[in-house]
Amino acid sequence: LLVGADAEALPWALGASCADKPLGAARDYYLPLWNGEDYYGRRWEEATAEDVPVRLARRATVRSLEEVAAAGARGPPLVVRLLHKSRLLHFGRVDRRRPWPYRVYLEVCDGTGVMPAVLWNELCPEWFRCLQPGQALVLRDYTLKGAFAGRTWPDVYDVGLPTFKTLEINLNSRHPAADIRVVHPRHVDPAWHLPEGRYRFTRRRDLGSLPADRACDVVGLVSYVGRQERIRKKDEPWRARDDFWVSRWVHAVDASSEEPFVLQLFATSQPDVHELLRPATLVVCTQMRVRHGLGGPYLTTSVESQVFVTGQHADKPYAAEPAVLEVARWCCGIADDDFFARSAVGGCYVFPPLPPTLAEFAEGLPTALAVTPLEELRSEMARLHYRERKRLVVQGTIAEVRFVELSEAAGGQENGGGHDAPPSAPVRGAEAAAEAPAQPSQAEDETGDEDDFPLTSAQVVEWRSASQGSVAGLFGPSAETSAGPEREPSRRTMLTTSQEIPPARGSAARGPDSAEALWETNGWSGSQLVLADHLRLGELPAEAVMRRYDHERRDAQRELCNLQPARRASLPPRAAPAAEAFRPACDRVGYFVVTLLGLDRKVALDVPFVPVWDRGDRRAACALAEERAGLLEILAHGSVPPGVSPLQVTESASPLAGQRMLFVLEQCRLGADSVEVTLNRAY
């Protein structure tokens, strides 16, 4: 307090402000929280085309640019059509400070040829969201340089023009500052002879005949949306250690086949679009690449891929494509309730399935097979980041197998069969060797009108009532874990004094019908008393179970399954129903808890093995006959034949007593200290 000061004369403090760039670094941008491919912040603008006629006294052509580059002169204005746009490519390094280390590859053309262009640095936040394939552009003050040999190239579909890959049109923010203009469609001069972009839409029935790495476009109605997972990028000296790819699995169906498109969608620098992915939305994916695996063909995104959902198709060049119109009309005849009942979200989804033999598995690895000692599993779990998925191979023997049933009557809550104490009450493992950094999960910002995007009954009625099968409606604007009984100390207490890490969230209780589905090796009860460490991760997390899509509670379900965690809406997040509130997607749901014993017989691991029960599932790659459905074959194939009961499976485990085996484990950190560990295959 200032004694004697005139309070009225003191100036008022200005309101708090939020800077658009970091204050303590020589950079002008923030990276998004989960990856480096999306944009983040208010600096990323979304401009629109200018509705002003373009007058050019002279202009260059793509073919003439080679002569311009050879002469070393500055090229005249260039009028081109934008064919493809890559995702954002961030080349920032931890040892260098650049304000905007971004670039974007563009493929442009006119009537004389196709040539790549590159958007550099500060021009990326200004123009990336504005530029869309199909637009007409006027480029001035560009420079011509030799093309980068290590870049990827999109597949330019049947344009019938030569492609010049030795030069690049460089668009810089200085020296000189490039001038970019987007021409409104009504002002595009026919004398410019700008070719239209082409698409190569593939029907599902034809997908299997395409060669690997073939580029194509697909359109379909989404029937499954998986959770977001992160995969650590390869370690390189210049790359940050916490750099990840973000991907999810999506199924989409069309009218040509009962089989869905299986899509592996990586981040495409469209975070707002990926947030809208949910069942019963019409999705269009461009520049997808064909892959072939044991589970059949699937598609993965490329650098130039783009994804669009219902509400965003109206002004896109593909809107009049026959394949898109055909699928849109087919969607009009689908009953909402029937489709919702066959749709699912979330869960642990591993694709493509692994081969059934160790030799094939080792042959498909990019490097030599590396085996992680079982005693190092705890430290491997501690190093996982939020939503990071990692595959490990461990060695040991099987000490116990028991079956756990997921009771649909309990809303998906686990009812397990097995031993003298339920595996569920919060059973904990020993303290991690190194504590992992906590990565809070995020609730999405629910600001948009959700009814604008999914395929609702009102939209279907509107489409059906349109004359001559018009699909104008399509292209218009768009809990706490329940505590169970504790284990018997003499049976399951670990002989360690360290603190315990909570397992992934879920709940399990034993059911009387499955109490007999248990097998354990001789002497296992006594061996537990001398274990140095016993990791009790046999409880299947509720987040690992695929759930039926609930359209009425789609927002809560999306938040629960953490689909596309782009931003947090509030702190703390809003209360959401537990995963058990939604029905499992499979009518027959259950899993086996397999206890692995290390070769030194000092470390044990309880891990859930979730087989595929439905033979029609794409993850059931190799059909297994009932007469060969022993535990070893089931662990190697990952599926159970329809006529085989869990009791038969556990009874067939005796030949594996003392047998040394390799176990393929899948790890995923679900948030905080919750780590999901599942058994994928055993050889």
Residues 326 and 364 occupy one common structural domain = no
Tokens of 547: 């759930």
% residues pLDDT > 90 (the chain): 43
CATH number at residue 335: 2.40.50.140
CATH number at residue 623: 2.40.50
Residues 245 and 180 occupy one common structural domain = no
- Residue 677: which pLDDT band, with cuts at 50, 70 and 90? very high
pLDDT at 652 over 80: yes
pLDDT at 175 over 90: no
- Assess if residue 428 is contained within a domain: no
548 beta partners: 344
Task: Identify whether the C-beta of residue 252 lies closer than 8 Å to the C-beta of residue 222.
Answer: yes
pLDDT of residue 17: 65
Task: Identify whether the C-beta of residue 319 lies closer than 8 Å to the C-beta of residue 197.
Answer: no
Task: State pLDDT tens for residues 186-195.
Answer: 899 899 999 9
pLDDT of residue 645: 87
Considering the chain, what is the average pLDDT of its residues?
Answer: 79
Continuous H helices in 319-382:
322-332, 336-341, 358-363, 377-382
Q: How many residues does the chain have?
A: 683
120 beta partners: 103
Residues 231 and 94 occupy one common structural domain = no
Residues 341 and 370 occupy one common structural domain = no
Which of these three, 169, 192, 215, is where a domain ends? 192
Task: Identify whether the C-beta of residue 385 lies closer than 8 Å to the C-beta of residue 658.
Answer: no
CA torsion 373-379-382-387 (nearest 10°) is: -20
pLDDT of residue 237: 54
SS3 201: strand
Dihedral sign, Cα of residue 206, residue 212, residue 216, residue 220: positive
What's the number of domains the chain is made of? 3
Domain that holds residue 143: 63-192
Q: What is the pTM of this model?
A: 0.81
Which of these three, 314, 345, 376, is where a domain ends? 345
pLDDT at 62 over 70: yes
Which of these three, 192, 214, 249, is where a domain ends? 192
pLDDT of residue 14: 65
Residues 276 and 390 occupy one common structural domain = no
- Assess if residue 299 is contained within a domain: yes
Task: Identify whether the C-beta of residue 547 lies closer than 8 Å to the C-beta of residue 583.
Answer: yes
Task: State pLDDT tens for residues 316-337.
Answer: 999 999 999 999 999 988 888 8
C-alpha–C-alpha distance, residues 301 and 287, integer Å: 7
Considering only CA atoms, which of 207, 291, 203 is closest in space to residue 247? Answer: 291
Task: State pLDDT tens for residues 517-576.
Answer: 788 887 777 777 788 899 999 999 888 988 899 988 888 777 766 654 445 544 444 555
Residues 526 and 639 occupy one common structural domain = yes
Give the number of other CB atoms < 10 A from CB of residue 267: 25
Residues 304 and 237 occupy one common structural domain = yes
